[in-house]
Structure formats: structure tokens, C-alpha cells
């Protein structure tokens, strides 16, 4: 049975394109986020070269009226607005846009688009503020991942394991993605360490599941706080670790967002 897990999703697989996509959304600022607006947004992404659907002729799109552009898209896609809607949902999830009553960039997104902060800084703050969970036990997937890796490294890198840091992509998929409360981190760390001798066991096999989870790593890496090492053909053997040149920022995040009770239990 597949457990529930959090996910950035796969609407935009390349986080380096976030600013450009937000810049396009900004041209629709103040407009109601209807199916027509969602479709027009996707059309504009095509015209600007952000996406290149195989069954759409950019040259033809350029010469059509806006109404005819929409008809052309509907003739090629059963739910043409969906391709704009899913990207909007991603940005709304990350707190980069609001869609009610009209679509607008948030102050964080505006600062990124205007170059007041870097794309890296914008994505980092968006991921820190992205909460999952229920009720009063909300937590940030990025923050919990950073802290879990720190705790794993602290407990595992002893004796013959000195210098061995990080968690595997397989461990991330199996143990980290299910966490929706900071209080669950200690148990997840214990499970990771107790299962390290059995990593050839069950992992997520469905390619769609892997797509969703690997996209989380792409966005985490875009913060420059998380990195991957030893990329080999078997993706489960790639290690996810932290960029310790960013130790001051890592400490700031942990001290700000991880509850003191959790830090006490985890011993770090």
C-alpha cells in the first residue's frame, strides 16, 4: 500500500525556470484565474519558449487571434487550461502567488522577479514557508529534511562510519516523505539507521511516485542548502547531504523552526 506523502509535484520540473514563469504570470496580475486565464497563461509560456509541446505549432499560434489561439489549443488538448492551472497550483502551494479574488504575485515572488533577491533565496524562503500536516502540527518538508540529515549524520558518523554522511535517495523516498510532524523525525532516523543493512528491500517502484519525489530533491537542491553526491546509474545509491559551507544558515533554520522539544529528543 502506498503511503501518503508530501510533494512539490511535477508541474514544473526545472526550478531554474521559476522566475521566468512567475514573470509571465505577472502579466495576468489582477485578472480572475479562470480556465480562460489559465489557458492564456499556458499559451504565453509556449510563445516565450518556456514549453515546447510537440503537437503545437508556435508559428501558427503567433499569427492567430487570441480567440483562435484558444480554439487551436482546445483542438489539441482535452483539458487545455490544465497545463496552466497545475503550474499555478504549484506556485500557490509555495506561497508565490494568490489566485483569489484575482491572480497576483506575493511580495516574495515580486522580490524574486524584480531581482531584489536571487531565485535561490526566493525558492529557499518559499520552501521554508511551505507547510504540510494538520492542525497545529504543521512542518516544512525542507526544514524537516535538513534536520533529519543532520541527526542521521550525528548518530551514524561514528567509529568505522566517520566521514560517511547523508541519506540515500531510497531512504528519502521510504522514510522521509511520510513525515508530516517534526516530532516524527526521531523515529524516522531510528528506522533509517536500523534498516541500512537491508536497503535492497522494498522501495517505491512506480515511476510516477519516483517522479514526484525526485522533483522534491530538485527544488531542495535549488536552495543550495541540500546537495546530492555520487550520482551513479542506480538512483537509490545517490546520497542526499547538506552543504556545510552554509552551516550558519543551516543552524539559523534549525534554531528558528525546529521545536526545542524535538531538538532535545533528537539530541541535536
pLDDT of residue 206: 45
DSSP one-letter code for 3: P
pLDDT of residue 232: 46
What burial letters (b/e) apply to 103-115, b meaning 16+ CB within 10 Å?
bbbbebbbbbbee
pLDDT of residue 213: 65
pLDDT of residue 221: 94
Structural domain contains residue 179:
yes
Which is it for strands 97-98 and 226-229: parallel, antiparallel or unpaired?
A: unpaired
Q: Domain of 203: which CATH number?
A: 1.10.10.2090
pLDDT of residue 189: 95
Pick from 116, 139, 167: which residue ends a domain? 116
DSSP one-letter code for 228: E
Pick from 116, 146, 173: which residue ends a domain? 116
Say if residue 111 is in the same domain as residue 150: no
Say if residue 93 is in the same domain as residue 137: no
Q: Which range marks the domain in which residue 58 is found?
A: 15-116
Structural domain contains residue 105:
yes
pLDDT of residue 75: 93
pLDDT of residue 233: 46
Angstrom distance (rounded) from CA 236 to CA 150 = 20
Residue 193 belongs to what H/E stretch?
helix 185-194
pLDDT of residue 205: 42
pLDDT of residue 253: 97
What distance, in Å, lies between the first and last C-alpha atoms of the chain?
A: 33
pLDDT of residue 63: 96
Grid coordinates standing for 48?
Answer: 516565450
Q: Mean pLDDT in each 10-residue stretch from start to end of the chain (268 residues)?
A: 72 94 98 97 95 91 96 91 94 97 98 98 98 86 97 75 74 91 95 76 47 83 89 61 94 96 90
Domain count, the chain: 2
Amino acid at each position: 500500500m502506498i503511503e501518503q506523502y508530501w510533494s512539490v509535484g511535477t508541474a514544473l520540473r526545472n526550478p531554474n525556470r521559476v522566475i521566468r514563469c512567475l514573470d509571465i504570470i505577472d502579466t495576468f496580475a489582477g485578472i480572475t484565474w479562470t480556465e480562460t486565464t489559465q489557458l492564456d497563461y499556458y499559451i504565453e509560456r509556449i510563445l516565450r519558449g518556456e514549453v515546447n509541446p510537440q503537437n503545437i505549432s508556435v508559428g501558427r499560434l503567433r499569427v492567430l487571434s487570441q480567440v483562435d489561439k484558444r480554439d487551436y489549443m482546445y483542438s489539441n488538448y482535452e483539458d487545455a487550461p490544465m497545463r496552466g492551472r497545475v503550474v499555478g497550483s504549484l506556485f500557490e502551494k509555495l506561497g508565490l502567488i494568490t489566485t483569489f479574488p484575482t491572480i497576483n504575485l506575493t511580495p516574495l515572488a515580486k522580490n524574486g522577479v524584480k531581482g531584489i533577491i536571487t531565485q535561490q533565496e526566493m525558492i529557499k524562503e518559499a520552501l521554508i514557508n511551505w507547510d504540510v500536516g494538520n492542525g497545529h502540527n504543521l512542518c516544512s518538508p525542507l526544514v524537516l529534511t535538513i534536520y533529519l540529515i543532520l541527526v542521521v549524520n550525528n548518530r551514524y558518523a561514528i567509529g568505522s562510519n566517520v566521514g560517511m554522511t547523508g541519506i540515500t535517495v531510497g531512504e528519502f523516498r521510504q522514510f522521509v516523505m511520510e513525515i508530516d510532524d517534526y516530532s516524527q523525525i526521531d523515529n524516522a532516523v531510528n528506522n533509517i539507521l536500523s534498516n541500512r543493512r537491508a536497503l535492497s528491500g522494498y522501495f517505491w517502484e512506480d515511476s510516477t511516485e519516483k517522479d514526484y519525489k525526485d522533483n522534491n530533491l530538485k527544488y531542495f537542491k535549488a536552495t543550495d542548502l541540500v546537495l546530492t553526491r555520487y550520482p551513479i546509474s542506480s538512483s537509490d545509491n545517490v546520497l542526499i547531504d547538506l552543504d556545510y559551507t552554509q552551516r550558519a544558515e543551516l543552524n539559523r533554520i534549525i534554531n528558528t523552526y525546529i521545536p526545542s522539544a524535538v531538538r532535545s529528543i533528537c539530541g541535536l
